[in-house]
Amino acid sequence: MKSEIISVGTELLLGEIVDTNAAYLSQRMAEIGVDVHQRQTVGDNLQRLTAAIETALGRADVVILIGGLGPTDDDLTREAISAATGRPLVRVPASEQRLREFFAARNRVVAESNLKQCDVPSGGHHLENVCGTAPGVFVEHEGKLIFALPGPPPEFREMLQRSVLPMLRERLGPANVLYSRSLLLTEIGESQVADMLGDLISAQTDPTIAMYASPALVRVRLATKAADQAEADRKFAPLEAHIRQVLGAHVLGADDETMPVVVGKLLRERGATLAVAESCTGGLIASRITDVAGASDYFMTGVVAYANETKQRLLRVNESTLRDHGAVSEACAREMAQGVRKLSGTTYGLATTGIAGPGGGTPEKPVGLVYVAVADDNGTVVIEQTWPSTREQFKARVSEMALALLRKRLLGAV
Amino acid sequence: MKSEIISVGTELLLGEIVDTNAAYLSQRMAEIGVDVHQRQTVGDNLQRLTAAIETALGRADVVILIGGLGPTDDDLTREAISAATGRPLVRVPASEQRLREFFAARNRVVAESNLKQCDVPSGGHHLENVCGTAPGVFVEHEGKLIFALPGPPPEFREMLQRSVLPMLRERLGPANVLYSRSLLLTEIGESQVADMLGDLISAQTDPTIAMYASPALVRVRLATKAADQAEADRKFAPLEAHIRQVLGAHVLGADDETMPVVVGKLLRERGATLAVAESCTGGLIASRITDVAGASDYFMTGVVAYANETKQRLLRVNESTLRDHGAVSEACAREMAQGVRKLSGTTYGLATTGIAGPGGGTPEKPVGLVYVAVADDNGTVVIEQTWPSTREQFKARVSEMALALLRKRLLGAV
């Protein structure tokens, strides 16, 4: 089954918004095994939008439009489907009643413009919108399926999940549904993974294996068509076991097990607690840890010690350390980790100190230099790294590096 | 001048990556006054890509392709331009020499596949890539301009700025260049702005005025065509003054003057310093403040007091306050702000305590309840708000709300 996506809206062509809906829809289509062979982006222009739908109907089995279903004159998706299929727009009484009730409940008057949202190309029907006023549109035309969904992401996603995906899954039949499982890797580069898994990746046909790299993370994705999740899991299991054996502790977790989730799980399992002292990461490590619900079970204290005085007064870093080695030094990182641990009475203390830039670098201590330390009952480990990059990238990388160090300490690897 | 963008790559159609390049390019086109009338997204398929280029050449003056310039068999953009224009690919000796030198310097062997990057459709030329190995492509064909740029965002943006935009600006002539200025608004909703500026927005033709809303911020954008920045500034000035007068302190700043930037500027101007005590925001306020280069001039200390014990021990919140009012209370927020200020000896202390959820809510204190406090020599101000949302949205909104409170204190408005 081949599909085509048409994103509608002049704001997209002006670059005012990034088209995350199209990427989200593409992912969902890939997951259920529907091939997205092309995408188009068209402004709020009836003639071009109609032509885009005609083109898509000529080469795809399923056409999904996103946006252009609102009440204003600029919203032309219903009209364009009508023009492209030759099906006149007809009013749906049930939709009109629902809209009138919606407005009455809010003491608002229904304008004539609002009512056009109650129209549908003849032979089609509406898809319920539980988050907004614009219903979606479904038309089956000469054996092709046409869907139109509203553009606001919460409405779009809800309607996709509730109405569109179940219809497509049903038409595809269960054996054609694609399942996937991603393994998230840490402290290893894309080329190293390619070296270690290269033969496996090129020889493997079902499940397929693909590798994706982002600045923070390499991901290995297994995908297979199966009747249900249990069958997919049975197909993934031996392959996942093999990859985990080859890559060892580089495998951070699966699917949504990111670094803060994995570290939180390890801390909770061990009944351990954590305090963090941050200089160059400026609170980002604490913020990422507390993005995980339930973090209060193990995360006690964060100290953002930007000023040297804060390092001394709160974290008890020695004045002589700052004088002799500077704030960006192995000794300072060590004392920060130990200091925040003692201050909070936690199992672990984690610390960062470095030069984020763009200012503050010297020939001996360049922009990008960073020390990360973890302290516990058994002692303190400090690592040094140099990562010249933008300020935000630096903070992101160092926060990941610090959590990776803590993970290794929790696993007994350092 | 009409343009069309073609994004190339199967990874886009699988939703593995979001097409931020297309949005970025659309913005730059809008800025210089080139109309992007349509976008296409095509996979790594020679036939479909060739057809997409033919279609685009039939309706646009400028066609810009993004991606598909790498060395692998999947990279087909050069081949498709050649097929669509009937111009055979020819090797460019200078490009081949540069590539061989690049590889020699890294002790790597040049594979035959690498050399195809040195080809260009006849009559065209290469655009230098200073960040990678794949040069861009430019061909003028029957009066139409065709550009092809590499997909990795740093390479794409660099080449766009260095090679493509100057060529397009030159062809457009100076009077056709679009300049814009955005005013960022705080603590006001989209509909309120529409009420206050509605007449102005609908009556205004040059500069144009448009309003954009995101969850965190409303933005009013002025745009005009001018010979240079100075002329544009002269056209913006009276309109901006009028809007600033109508909206008063709701105008946070212009262009990139976000909340952390504006607060940092105010603190620096006054020679004031800041310490932050965070509970529910978990370090996000400190992290946003330290995203701004030079924040160490005014930001001294952050304390993430997730545990009650940390609130007591570090911030000197009274045991009786926690017992009688709880950690999420006006009294606790007040004592946290005063405590972190005293601890750090700063001009200002800022504090947050709330229930981010999804767990932890009660009928009296529901998920989304938050107290934010600012303390200085003149006393302490606490505000209460309820914002039920996802954990990450809650943290983002509360961090903005806290910085907005500090800004008002700095301006003497509370």
On whether the CB atoms of residues B23 and A19 are closer than 8 A, the answer is yes
Q: Are residues B23 and B107 in the same domain?
A: yes
Q: Are residues B133 and B195 in the same domain?
A: no
How confident is the prediction for chain A on average, in pLDDT?
92
Q: How confident is the model at residue A200 (pLDDT cuts 50, 70, 90)?
A: confident
Question: What is the Cα–Cα distance from B66 to B9, expressed in whole angstroms?
Answer: 9
**pLDDT tens readout for residues A228-255:** 889 999 999 999 999 999 999 999 999 8
What are the chain A neighbours of B180 within 8 Å (beta carbons)?
none
Those residues with Cβ within 8 angstroms of residue A366's Cβ, 6 or more apart along the chain or in another chain = A355, A386, A388
Q: Are residues A153 and A42 in the same domain?
A: yes
- Number of structural domains (chain A) is 3
Which B positions 101-140 lie with beta carbon below 8 A of chain A? none
Q: Provide the percentage of residues in chain B whose pLDDT is more than 90.
A: 70
Residue A10: what pLDDT? 87
Q: Are residues B181 and B81 in the same domain?
A: no
Q: How confident is the model at residue A214 (pLDDT cuts 50, 70, 90)?
A: low
Q: Are residues A130 and A195 in the same domain?
A: no
On the 0-12 / 13-18 / 19+ scale of CB atoms within 10 A, A379 is exposed
Element (H, E) at B413: none
Q: What is the CATH number of the domain that holds B46?
A: 3.40.980.10
Range of the domain at A245: 177-254
Provide the ipTM.
0.76
Question: What is the Cα–Cα distance from A119 to A127, expressed in whole angstroms?
Answer: 12
Burial A117-151 (b: 16+ CB within 10 A, else e): bbbbbeebebbebeebbbbbbbbebeeebbbbbbb
What are the chain B neighbours of A313 within 8 Å (beta carbons)?
343-344
What are the chain A neighbours of B356 within 8 Å (beta carbons)?
290
Rg (CA), chain B: 27
**pLDDT tens readout for residues B130-154:** 877 889 999 999 999 999 999 988 8
- Cβ separation of B304 and A276 shorter than 8 Å? yes
Q: Are residues A240 and A282 in the same domain?
A: no
Q: What is the CATH number of the domain that holds B250?
A: 3.30.70.2860
Helix (H, G, I), strand (E, B) or coil at B212: strand
Q: Could you say which DSSP state residue A40 is in?
A: E
Rounded to 5 degrees, φ, ψ at A369 are -70, 135
- Token duo for residue B271: 């020679």
- Measured on CA atoms in the order A96, A100, A103, A105, is the torsion positive or negative? negative
Q: Are residues B245 and B280 in the same domain?
A: no
- Least CA distance to B31: which residue of chain A? A14
- Cβ separation of B286 and A303 shorter than 8 Å? no
> Among residues A149, A172, A195, which one ends one of the domains?
A172
Q: Least CB-CB distance to B301: which of A24, A40, A310? A: A310
Residue B366: what pLDDT? 92
On whether the CB atoms of residues B356 and B366 are closer than 8 A, the answer is no
pLDDT at residue A106 tops 90 = no
Which A positions 275-304 lie with beta carbon below 8 A of chain B? 276, 278, 281-287, 289-291, 293-296, 299-304
**pLDDT tens readout for residues B274-317:** 999 999 999 999 999 999 999 999 999 999 999 999 999 999 99
∠ CA A84-A89-A94, nearest 5°, is: 135
- Token duo for residue B107: 């002790």
Question: What is the Cα–Cα distance from B111 to B133, expressed in whole angstroms?
Answer: 13
On whether the CB atoms of residues A397 and A216 are closer than 8 A, the answer is yes
Q: Are residues A226 and A362 in the same domain?
A: no
Q: Are residues A106 and A47 in the same domain?
A: yes
On whether the CB atoms of residues B339 and B315 are closer than 8 A, the answer is yes
**pLDDT tens readout for residues A14-45:** 888 889 999 999 989 988 889 899 999 999 99
Instruction: Measure in Å the smallest separation between the Cα of A247 and chain B Cα atoms.
Output: 23
> Among residues A254, A270, A294, which one ends one of the domains?
A254
Mean pLDDT calculated for residue range B208-227 = 80
More confident residue, B170 or B287: B287
Instruction: Measure in Å the smallest separation between the Cα of B66 and chain A Cα atoms.
Output: 14
Q: Hey, which bits of B31-143 come out as E strands?
A: 35-42, 62-66, 89-91, 119-121, 125-127, 136-141
Element (H, E) at B323: helix B319-325
- Cβ separation of B395 and A293 shorter than 8 Å? no
Q: Which amino acid is at A121?
A: P
What are the chain A neighbours of B28 within 8 Å (beta carbons)?
15
Q: What is the CATH number of the domain that holds A392?
A: 3.90.950.20
Q: Least CB-CB distance to A310: which of B13, B17, B300? A: B300
Residue B403: what pLDDT? 97
Instruction: Measure in Å the smallest separation between the Cα of A227 and chain B Cα atoms.
Output: 21
Which B positions 208-247 lie with beta carbon below 8 A of chain A? 212
DSSP per-residue letters across A119-130:
EEETT-EEE--S
Q: How confident is the model at residue A217 (pLDDT cuts 50, 70, 90)?
A: confident
**pLDDT tens readout for residues B221-272:** 898 888 888 999 999 999 999 999 999 999 999 988 999 999 999 999 999 9
Q: How confident is the model at residue B122 (pLDDT cuts 50, 70, 90)?
A: very high
What are the chain B neighbours of A41 within 8 Å (beta carbons)?
22, 38-41
Q: Are residues B159 and B225 in the same domain?
A: no
Q: Quick check: B14 contacting A, CB < 8 Å?
A: yes
- Cβ separation of A291 and B391 shorter than 8 Å? yes
Q: Provide the percentage of residues in chain B whose pLDDT is more than 70.
A: 98
Q: Are residues B180 and B159 in the same domain?
A: no
Q: What is the value of pTM for the model shown?
A: 0.77
> Among residues B208, B231, B254, which one ends one of the domains?
B254
Q: Are residues A63 and A151 in the same domain?
A: yes
Q: Quick check: A46 contacting B, CB < 8 Å?
A: no
Residue B214: what pLDDT? 66
